[in-house]
A and B are shown apart, each in its own frame.
Chain A
Amino acid sequence: MLWVDKYRPKTLDKVIVHEDVAQNLKKLVTEQDCPHLLFYGPPGSGKKTLIMALLRQMFGPSAEKVKVENKTWKVDAGTRTIDLELTTLASTYHVELNPSDAGFQDRYIVQEIIKEMAKNRPIDTKGKKGFKVLVLNEVDKLSREAQHSLRRTMEKYSASCRLILCCNSSSKVTEAVRSRCLNVRINAPTEEQIVKVLEFIGKKEGLQLPSGFAARIAEKSNRSLRRAILAFETCRVQQYPFTSNQAIPPMDWEEYVSEIASDIVKEQSPKRLFQVRGKIYELLINCIPPEIVLKRLLFELLKKLDAELKHEVCHWAAYYEHRMRLGQKAIFHIEAFVAKFMSIYKGFLIATFG
């Protein structure tokens, strides 16, 4: 088992990082009237951990007995029926799913499947009317239509069903949905908190942590606890008695991006652009989200750049990132950025060195 999972706090009491949030959630559960919840925050901040702990708090340990189901739903969409394959994870009390998996058909999932799930309420062993919890991930990736249908579902079935929504950015969730939920912001843990967690894990694993090592990992992790713990574990595998200046292995795709960046800086020509395109394709094929690719690329490029150009390059990166979000095909925009960069950079080189 990965350390990320091994040392994940199982209950709200054991939470180290967001103790205050955990306590509030606990209070919420004990009051018996849990509203719909919307968790949002950057990746690796502990949203899922809190949700899982919350479910356990609500339903006891049996909420952890889950079953993964991969089911094909037949949805009747007016003139035709659509087959939708959807992975769900369910215990007796809750169902978790990623409605955005269905891409542009996500609204059928919300309209039909979630409604179906929300309708039938479980009966408590004590005969009390219970409620069911639906955990929806990546709500911010849902299309506008789907979010509107979600709002309807929330209203209609609020008696029998609670929704826990989870997303990275609440700005992409419509106002209508947000206002029907209790919004819980989970901010990224500070580096000190990450160091604390790493030291806790190190102690549990019986590892000798040289001073400053945990801090370095925390710094590299970009304030993502998951990244930090994963990196910590890979370091452990790589070389055990830790040395304080040990190299922290980067993610392979990050290395790839920095390779692309150095390619770009080395030569600026359409031919090179073509090669870069090939490499970006490869990243995209491996499901690395284009936004992350662009962001990382900018980051790598900025490292190699003269301060004079930084502002302009950032501006264009932002411009094309915005375009990318609005557009359909990410590659166009990433490539446009790369070309822009090449053009700027070449102009700069010619101006300085003649």
Chain B
Amino acid sequence: MGKRKTKVVVSSSDDDDDDKTFSLRSKTTSNPKLKPRPSSVPRANSRRTATKKARLSDSRAVSCKESSGFDEVELELRCVSEDSIDLGGRAFALRQMSMRSLNDALIFWSSFFRRAGKSCIYVFLSCLLIILGSGRSNGKDLWVDKYKPGSLEELAVHKKKVEEVKMWFEKRLKRQKEELFNNVLVITGQAGVGKSATVHVIASHLRATVCEWNTPTPTIWQEHLHNSNLGVRYMSKLDEFENFVERTRKYGLIPSSFSGRSQASVILVIDDLPVANGRVAYEKLNKCLHLLVQSALVPTVILITDCGEADSSDNSPQNWEELQSSLQRAGACKVAFNPITVNSIKKTLSRICREEHLNVDGEQIDLIAKASGEQGAFLVKERFARLPVKMDAPEKVLCKAHGQARPVTDFLHENGNISYKIGLLRFHKNPKLVYLASIHFPVSYIFEQFSAALTFHFLVVLDFLSEEAIDDACVVTSYLSDADFLLASLSGMITRNYEAENVIQSAAASVAVRGVLFGNFHPLSSRWHTIRRPSLWQVERSLRYNKLETVRQRCIGYDGMSLSDLSVVATEFKPALKWLGFRGSEGLESRNLSEKDIMLDDESVDGTSFEDKDDDTSNDEIEDCCIFDGFWKWKACEPWLTIEPYLPLGRVKDLLL
């Protein structure tokens, strides 16, 4: 509960009203459904996390994170308002709310499990179908947040690098005013290596306050129109950044956010640069940064995320590199972070295990038996912790998208933008997404992710049905079929109407999730479960490969004088040729290959993931470079990422506990 209070403090004072209602409501709702916390909860643990959180929030309380507080309030309000579902009439309620917000479904689900006496949280929507250990999942946050490194020792980053950064900070913070230093440090590294974590930890270590500049959400066209109707002048994000830099250069940091604490040393963190699309914008950004480097008053850290080769479809990587070198030329220090080694990840994980008291009770043997899988699950969590993509976005957006059952246009006008904004705020650190968004690629994109999530559901669902429940399976699959139908229904249109697509896609996602929730009347008891990639993707990939192969063989019919249809080759010529014995070997080969391809990663997520990686890279050649595919490719490079987004688990749990 302490956390919630701090949250209210964090949220900016502008939305006072919201805060009040929020705190009020949360009080009312958290009571009725309160169940006594499982007594197995280790006391020390919760206290420790609480203190840590206090420390963390202390250091961040002043950080000028814009609007995140507001979003949270919004979301929770929704959760709260939808909370009054009659849990008894489960089926009925679910049917009734088939088009309403998703969060109720979530709440519903978790509470269902709670009632069933298994206080496990089914991270369903999130597609993270890991069941956190039963009885112990009392944490209010995702482990991602909970085990945010609190001290230098806990950082999984290489010691030398940390030391380097720390030295730099110490030098800057201790120096006298008249000494002229360059006040800018550039930290580069792949997504999730702990760049910002390091800065935050060091800052709290040195008792300095961190002030962040986050890339604002790109504006979509619709929003722009809406705004200009209201008389709000459009301002390019780049301009905003420029203004900001100008301000900081002249006046130091914004005084308002430092009331009363101005004597503390301040570190400015620029977390990802705004997107510069095109040469002109890029030059502008470059110039702006140059100025910043030359005349920054406070120690400034610029975090740049390496996009990796996956981004090669656009020209931004070169730009980023160029940018880095030009910053260095201007005198900025540069520290490059390497990807975290497996060992240090393991260390962190074992720490988490220890703190969660995972191996204290009778499940030990079980744990050891499933060590690999569990490790994998944690690993995923760990990775997620460090990944820039905040995975709770789709649900939020969905929640917004389903809030009202008004006519579509009306709805779009009012809510489309909000949902979009919230969605992207969560994604703000992800360069690729922001890049896309900057070229007016709205939320549908996020939903595209969601549709992938759908595939994922699909894969795992059957494992969670009990043996006898074929009827359930039938319902579930039919809902999934509906969802796919919805997802596809717009794909063939010439003029893509993104907003309409949003709605349909969110509806599809909702249908899928709800269908699965609804259909599963006889869930299996909770157990550890490893995460698997949807084998559908592998199937699709090898299908594509085989198709190419078949295309090459299509001259077998007609004496080479005409091309045969693919289906004919596959269904008639190939089998016949196999019988006849000549050129049949080809067919056999491809079948073997396909069998190898669809091998499910059942045993351990760990082992197979590397194979997958290889697969992916080889597959990249086949894939087309359209934007969507590009994204998939990007995701494919990070095998963990293929497991899709999550829900604001912490918050749902908050409400339930």
Q: Does A281 make an interface contact (CB < 8 A)?
A: yes
Question: Which residues in chain B, 537-580, are within 8 Å of chain A measured between CB atoms?
Answer: 539, 542-543, 546-547, 550-552, 554-555, 557-573, 575-580
- CB atoms of B488 and A327 under 8 A apart: yes
- CB atoms of B462 and A274 under 8 A apart: yes
Say what secondary structure dominates the interface of chain A: helix
- CB atoms of A286 and B492 under 8 A apart: no
Q: Does B526 make an interface contact (CB < 8 A)?
A: no
Task: Determine the chain B residues whose CB is within 8 A of the CB of A230 once the complex forms.
Answer: 572-573, 576
Task: Determine the chain A residues whose CB is within 8 A of the CB of B485 once the complex forms.
Answer: 323, 326-327
Name B576's closest neighbour in chain A (CB-CB).
A230
- CB atoms of B565 and A285 under 8 A apart: no
The number of A-B residue pairs with CB atoms under 8 Å apart is 214
**Min C-beta distance of B578 to chain A, whole Å:** 7
- CB atoms of B591 and A97 under 8 A apart: no
Known: A226-B572, A285-B597. A64 touches B481 (CB 8 A): no
- CB atoms of B547 and A282 under 8 A apart: no
Task: Determine the chain B residues whose CB is within 8 A of the CB of A162 once the complex forms.
Answer: none
Query: Within the assembled complex, what's the spacing in Å between the Cα atoms of A6 and B580?
Result: 15
- CB atoms of A340 and B484 under 8 A apart: no
Q: Which of the segments A27-35, A263-271, A299-307 contacts the partner chain?
A: A263-271
Of the residues B494, B566, B570, contact of A144 by C-beta under 8 Å = B494
Question: Which residues in chain A, 242-278, are within 8 Å of chain B measured between CB atoms?
Answer: 249, 251-253, 268-271, 273-274, 277-278
The contact string, 1 if C-beta is below 8 Å from chain A, for chain B 434-471, is 00000000000000000000010010001101111111
Name B559's closest neighbour in chain A (CB-CB).
A5
Query: Within the assembled complex, what's the spacing in Å between the Cα atoms of A271 and B562?
Result: 45
Q: Which of the segments A15-23, A152-160, A170-178, A328-336 contacts the partner chain?
A: A328-336
**Min C-beta distance of A78 to chain B, whole Å:** 12
- CB atoms of A343 and B536 under 8 A apart: no
Q: What size tier do the contact residues of chain B reach?
A: 35 or more
Query: Within the assembled complex, what's the spacing in Å between the Cα atoms of A137 and B558?
Result: 14
The size of the chain A interface, using a CB distance under 8 A, is 80
- CB atoms of B571 and A52 under 8 A apart: no
Q: Does A219 make an interface contact (CB < 8 A)?
A: no
- CB atoms of B570 and A286 under 8 A apart: yes
Q: Does B343 make an interface contact (CB < 8 A)?
A: no
Question: Which residues in chain B, 477-501, are within 8 Å of chain A measured between CB atoms?
Answer: 477-478, 480-485, 487-489, 491-492, 494
- CB atoms of A96 and B563 under 8 A apart: yes
Task: Determine the chain B residues whose CB is within 8 A of the CB of A339 once the complex forms.
Answer: 470, 473-474, 476-478
Which 4 residue pairs across A and B have the least CB separation, nearest first? A343-B474, A287-B570, A5-B559, A336-B481
Interface residues of B (CB under 8 A from A): 455, 458, 462-463, 465-474, 476-478, 480-485, 487-489, 491-492, 494, 535-536, 539, 542-543, 546-547, 550-552, 554-555, 557-573, 575-581, 590-591, 594-595, 597-598, 600, 624-626
* Supplied contacts A66-B561, A70-B552, 19 more A-B pairs, CB within 8 Å: A5-B559, A105-B626, A137-B565, A138-B566, A234-B580, A252-B575, A268-B470, A273-B477, A278-B598, A285-B539, A285-B594, A287-B543, A287-B547, A289-B571, A333-B484, A335-B477, A336-B481, A343-B470, A343-B474
